């Protein structure tokens, strides 16, 4: 068990290193240099050349990646904060500390000042969506998995497939048209302050609805497949044959076993929601992590992109890990192997 | 004599095989979900193919006079967009773009993914370990984040969308193929092929691939649907195909500024995307039900 955990932790670290390097390499294709972005469009070529030299931005990719990793781990100070660059970039935490994501050229602020509050906002959005997706998809999945191919199954399946076919921006357009324009009961924008006359909870309704609409159908389909598999097992047949009522069979025997496989699927949805929030946050002008990542990608703000990538990949590998551990706890057969 | 018997037997299996294949496709006709899906996809495919011969306005031609009232009229059945271009024409020409780019991207991703999965499944050992670990790294990325980072950095074009789709989808396809191959590898006919000293390439292409076909076609349908959504999202994020191409996601984006006044301009391309994606998803579901072993 300890070896398993250690192995997985090592694999997680390796994944994060590889992912951050990949992003670093992809960002090589962005037009415009770090120096140019730090100084703005009106700096002279001499100033840009001076800063490029100062930051050693002409070094090979691997050397610069190593320097970025060194700054992150607190081994070396952030070169952008060196007073001799003349940029006046200051991080109140100091230039050298563990977890230094560097300086955002987009926001002209330390990445750590921006990213965590944005991540908090997104966590509220994704958390609320998750709280609705879990019960909704379990009910839909169990009901349609009870009798495969039955009328109820076909009906619920078509509903689920239809909902998964609606991308977030489309459901955003539909919901805003219905509940903001035609029947104005909700705000169409969610800046999370009550200055516009709408309370903060009312601003969360539509973004959460958009996330739920796109995601719950998929999870319900997964739970349905698992439920069908369980309902075909001999012990269910035995329970039915010995005269138990359908309700008792489902609650007593099927439910717990049918939930083992979807447990992982549900956890992986946390990862999926992080993708989903990019569009949802853009539609509703929600000050979250997804929009920060989008803006940073469009601007080419490598420090922010790298920080956001590391955080998303960390969330992804952690949920996978927790999923596997939970899987082992729920299903004794896997533990034995 | 024995050669003749063998030939008869082979003919018999051949007949049986085609008979079974016909039955397989015939089963789809009896699945209402698959038929609805086929109808939705077929509608857009026919519209896209016939677009140049249909009596439509040019998708880039601006009718400035129509801007006074861009809602549906006798001249423009579905109205015009914010630049006075005919909405119906842009929707139909938009289908051309998406119906070329999405299947093309998925086809390339399938080729790469199936090849990697076959190699990992057939050879095993360190080759499998390297391919699987690399796939895990890419699969750890939230897909859309991967797309945004890739397209924002290498720029939006058809080729780049194909590249991004391949990078994002090939690992998943590879994983499915590998799983199928591992299941099939123990079958007797594979052992028989090995005894006949067939090459690994022959076993992959002739013995394994046809037996993975069903699952992979279903997966491709789902992926085409998902890629259409992704292309729509990229368009909506402003990372879509460059302006002259009418692009459904881009159409929604352009018109969200006037959503309060003329919601139809955003609603119509949204409906177009949903209908096409729904078509592919229903088709995939129908195929899966029909081909269930």
Q: Are residues A61 and A134 in the same domain?
A: no
pLDDT in tens, A116-148: 989 999 999 999 999 999 999 989 988 888 888
**To the nearest whole percent, how much of chain B has pLDDT over 70?**
91
Question: Is A212 at the interface with chain B, CB within 8 A?
Answer: no
Q: Are residues A189 and A49 in the same domain?
A: no
Q: Give how far Cα A18 sits from Cα of A23, A115, A309, B125, Å.
A: 9, 22, 11, 22
Confidence of residue B5 (pLDDT cuts 50, 70, 90): very low
Could you tell me if B94 and B276 are in contact, meaning their C-beta atoms sit under 8 angstroms apart?
A: no
- Within 8 A by CB and 6+ apart from B249, the residues are A169, B231, B232, B233, B234, B235, B236, B237, B240, B269, B273
Of A30, A149, A312, the CB nearest to B142: A312
Question: In terms of Cα–Cα distance, which of B80, B29, B38 is closest to B281?
Answer: B38
- Of A48, A68, A100, the one marking the end of a domain is A100
Could you tell me if B85 and B70 are in contact, meaning their C-beta atoms sit under 8 angstroms apart?
A: no
Could you tell me if B249 and B200 are in contact, meaning their C-beta atoms sit under 8 angstroms apart?
A: no
CATH number of this structure's domain B24-53+79-291, picked from the four choices 2.30.30.40, 1.10.3720.10, 3.30.310.10, 3.40.50.2000: 1.10.3720.10
- Of A72, A100, A128, the one marking the end of a domain is A100
What integer pLDDT is reported at residue A30 of this predicted model?
Answer: 65
What integer pLDDT is reported at residue B170 of this predicted model?
Answer: 92
Residues of chain A contacting B237 with CB distance shorter than 8 Å: 278-279, 282, 294
What DSSP element (H or E) covers B148? helix B143-154
Dig out the tokens for A114 from the structure.
Answer: 């921006």
Question: In terms of Cα–Cα distance, which of B212, B210, B188, B208 is closest to B200?
Answer: B208
Residues of chain A contacting B143 with CB distance shorter than 8 Å: 275
Question: In terms of Cα–Cα distance, which of B99, B98, B88 is closest to B56?
Answer: B88
* CATH number of the domain enclosing A293: 1.10.3720.10
Range of the domain at A267: 114-330
Does the reported pTM lie above 0.80?
A: yes
- What is the interface pTM, i.e. ipTM, of the complex? 0.84
Could you tell me if B41 and B47 are in contact, meaning their C-beta atoms sit under 8 angstroms apart?
A: no
Q: Are residues A282 and A144 in the same domain?
A: yes
Distance, in Å, from the CA atom of B227 to the CA atom of B240, rounded to the nearest integer, reads 13
Angle between helix B158-184 and helix B125-140 axes, rounded to 10 deg: 130
What integer pLDDT is reported at residue B16 of this predicted model?
Answer: 45
**To the nearest whole percent, how much of chain A has pLDDT over 70?**
93
A147: alpha, beta or left? (left if phi > 0; alpha if psi -120 to 50)? beta
Distance, in Å, from the CA atom of B262 to the CA atom of B86, rounded to the nearest integer, reads 14
Residues forming beta bridges with residue B80, ordered by sequence position:
B86
Mean pLDDT to the nearest integer, A55-65: 77
Confidence of residue B80 (pLDDT cuts 50, 70, 90): confident
Question: Is B259 at the interface with chain A, CB within 8 A?
Answer: yes
Higher-pLDDT residue of A54, A13: A13
Could you tell me if A244 and A201 are in contact, meaning their C-beta atoms sit under 8 angstroms apart?
A: no
Question: Is A30 at the interface with chain B, CB within 8 A?
Answer: yes
Residues of chain B contacting A319 with CB distance shorter than 8 Å: none
- Which SS3 state, helix, strand or coil, does residue B80 take? strand
Question: Is B263 at the interface with chain A, CB within 8 A?
Answer: yes
What integer pLDDT is reported at residue B11 of this predicted model?
Answer: 46
Distance, in Å, from the CA atom of B262 to the CA atom of B253, rounded to the nearest integer, reads 13
Q: Are residues A235 and A297 in the same domain?
A: yes
Whether A109 is covered by a domain: the verdict is: no
pLDDT in tens, B18-45: 445 555 677 777 788 889 999 999 999 9
What DSSP element (H or E) covers B179? helix B158-184
pLDDT in tens, A294-322: 888 888 788 888 898 888 888 888 888 88
Residue B12 has pLDDT above 70, yes or no: no
What integer pLDDT is reported at residue B10 of this predicted model?
Answer: 46
Q: Are residues A62 and A197 in the same domain?
A: no
Please state, rounded to an integer, the average pLDDT across all residues of chain B: 82
Whether A236 is covered by a domain: the verdict is: yes
Residues forming beta bridges with residue A103, ordered by sequence position:
A110
Residue A100 has pLDDT above 90, yes or no: no
Task: Calculate the CA dihedral of residues A268, B156, B44, B289 and round it to 10 degrees.
Answer: -20
Residues of chain B contacting A27 with CB distance shorter than 8 Å: 149, 153
Domain count, chain A: 2
Distance, in Å, from the CA atom of A163 to the CA atom of A177, rounded to the nearest integer, reads 18
Residues forming beta bridges with residue B62, ordered by sequence position:
B85
Question: Is A181 at the interface with chain B, CB within 8 A?
Answer: yes
Q: Are residues A144 and A94 in the same domain?
A: no
Cross-chain Cβ contact B232/A170 below 8 Å: yes
Could you tell me if A302 and A19 are in contact, meaning their C-beta atoms sit under 8 angstroms apart?
A: no
Mean pLDDT to the nearest integer, B182-202: 85
Residue A113 has pLDDT above 80, yes or no: yes
Residue A33 has pLDDT above 70, yes or no: no
Residue A9 has pLDDT above 90, yes or no: no
A residues 268-307 lying closer than 8 A (beta carbon) to B: 271-272, 274-276, 278-279, 282-283, 293-294, 297-298, 300, 305
What integer pLDDT is reported at residue A165 of this predicted model?
Answer: 93
Residues of chain B contacting A30 with CB distance shorter than 8 Å: 152-153
Residue A217 has pLDDT above 70, yes or no: yes
Whether A239 is covered by a domain: the verdict is: yes
φ, ψ dihedrals at B79, nearest 5°:
85, -170
Question: Is B163 at the interface with chain A, CB within 8 A?
Answer: no
Q: Give how far Cα A329 sits from Cα of A12, A69, A135, A222, Å.
A: 20, 36, 22, 20
Q: Are residues A55 and A192 in the same domain?
A: no
Residues of chain B contacting A174 with CB distance shorter than 8 Å: 267, 270
What integer pLDDT is reported at residue A86 of this predicted model?
Answer: 63
Write the secondary structure of chain A as one string of H (helix), E (strand) and C (coil). Answer: CHHHHHHHHHHHHHHHHHHHHHHHHHHHHCCCCHHHHHHCCCCCHHHHHHHHHHHCCCCCHHHHHHHHHHHHHCCCCCHHHCHHHCCCCCCCCCCCCCCCCCEECCCCEEHHHHHHHHHHHHHHHHHHHHHHHHHHHHHHHHHHHHCCCCHHHHHHHHHHHHHHCCCHHHHHHHHHHHHHHHCCCCCCCCCCCHHHCCCHHHHHHHHHHHHHHHHHHHHHHHHHHHHHHHHCCHHHHHHHHCCCCHHHHHHHHHHHHHCHHHHHHHHHHHHHHHHHHHHHHHHCCCCCHHHHHHHHHHHCCHHHHHHHHHHHHHHHHHHHHHHHHHHHHHCHHHHHC
Higher-pLDDT residue of A170, A5: A170
Q: Are residues A125 and A48 in the same domain?
A: no
Could you tell me if A313 and A19 are in contact, meaning their C-beta atoms sit under 8 angstroms apart?
A: yes
Distance in angstroms between the alpha carbons of the first and the last residue of chain B: 37
Q: Are residues A146 and A204 in the same domain?
A: yes
Residues forming beta bridges with residue B13, ordered by sequence position:
none
Whether A11 is covered by a domain: the verdict is: no
């Amino acid at each position: 068990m300890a070896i398993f955990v250690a192995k997985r932790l090592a694999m997680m670290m390796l994944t994060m290193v590889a992912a951050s390097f990949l992003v670093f390499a992809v960002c090589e294709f962005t037009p415009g240099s770090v120096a140019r972005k730090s100084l703005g469009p009106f700096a002279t070529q001499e100033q840009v050349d001076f800063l490029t030299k100062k930051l050693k931005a002409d070094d090979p990719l691997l050397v610069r990646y190593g320097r970025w990793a060194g700054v992150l781990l607190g081994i070396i100070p952030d070169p952008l904060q060196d007073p001799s660059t003349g940029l006046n970039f200051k991080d109140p935490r100091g230039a050298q500390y563990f977890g230094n994501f560097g300086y955002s050229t987009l926001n002209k602020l330390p990445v750590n000042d921006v990213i965590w509050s944005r991540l908090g906002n997104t966590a509220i959005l994704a958390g609320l969506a998750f709280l609705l997706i879990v019960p909704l998809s379990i009910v839909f999945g169990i009901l349609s998995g009870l009798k495969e191919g039955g009328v109820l199954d076909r009906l619920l399946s078509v509903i689920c497939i239809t909902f998964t076919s609606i991308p977030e921006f489309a459901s955003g357009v539909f919901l805003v048209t219905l509940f903001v324009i035609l029947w104005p009961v909700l705000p169409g924008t969610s800046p999370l302050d009550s200055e516009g006359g709408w309370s903060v909870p009312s601003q969360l309704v539509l973004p959460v609805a958009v996330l739920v609409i796109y995601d719950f159908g998929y999870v319900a389909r997964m739970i349905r497949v698992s439920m069908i598999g369980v309902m075909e097992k001999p012990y269910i047949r035995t329970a039915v044959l010995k005269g138990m009522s359908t309700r008792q069979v489902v609650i007593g025997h099927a439910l717990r076993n049918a939930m083992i496989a979807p447990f992982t699927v549900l956890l992986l949805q946390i990862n999926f929601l992080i993708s989903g929030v990019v569009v949802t946050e853009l539609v509703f002008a929600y000050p979250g992590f997804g929009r920060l990542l989008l803006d940073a990608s469009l601007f080419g703000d490598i420090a922010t992109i790298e920080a956001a990538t590391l955080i998303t990949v960390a969330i992804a590998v952690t949920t996978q890990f927790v999923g596997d551990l939970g899987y082992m706890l729920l299903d004794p057969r896997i533990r034995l192997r | 004599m024995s050669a003749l018997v063998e030939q008869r037997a082979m003919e018999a299996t051949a007949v049986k095989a085609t008979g079974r294949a016909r039955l397989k496709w015939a089963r789809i006709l009896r699945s209402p979900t698959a038929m609805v899906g086929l109808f939705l996809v077929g509608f857009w495919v026919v519209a896209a193919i016939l677009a140049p011969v249909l009596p439509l306005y040019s998708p880039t031609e601006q009718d400035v006079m129509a801007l006074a009232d861009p809602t549906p009229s006798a001249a423009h059945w579905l109205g015009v967009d914010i630049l006075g271009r005919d909405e119906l024409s842009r929707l139909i020409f938009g289908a051309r773009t998406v119906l070329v780019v999405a299947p093309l991207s998925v086809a390339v991703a399938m080729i790469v993914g199936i090849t990697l999965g076959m190699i990992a499944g057939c050879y095993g050992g360190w080759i499998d370990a390297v391919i699987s670990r690399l796939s895990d790294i890419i699969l750890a990325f939230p897909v859309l984040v991967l797309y945004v980072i890739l397209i924002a950095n290498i720029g939006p074009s058809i080729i780049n969308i194909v590249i991004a789709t391949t990078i994002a989808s090939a690992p998943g396809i590879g994983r499915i193929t590998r799983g199928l191959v591992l299941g099939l590898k123990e079958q007797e006919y594979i052992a028989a092929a090995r005894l006949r000293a067939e090459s690994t390439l022959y076993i992959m292409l002739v013995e394994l691939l046809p037996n993975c076909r069903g699952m992979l076609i279903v997966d491709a349908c789902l992926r085409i649907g998902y890629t259409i959504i992704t292309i729509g999202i990229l368009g909506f994020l402003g990372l879509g195909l460059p302006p002259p191409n009418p692009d459904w996601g881009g159409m929604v984006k352009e018109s969200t500024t006037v959503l309060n006044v003329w919601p139809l301009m955003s609603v119509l391309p949204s409906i177009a995307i949903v209908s096409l994606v729904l078509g592919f998803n229903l088709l995939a579901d129908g195929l899966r039900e029909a081909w269930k072993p």
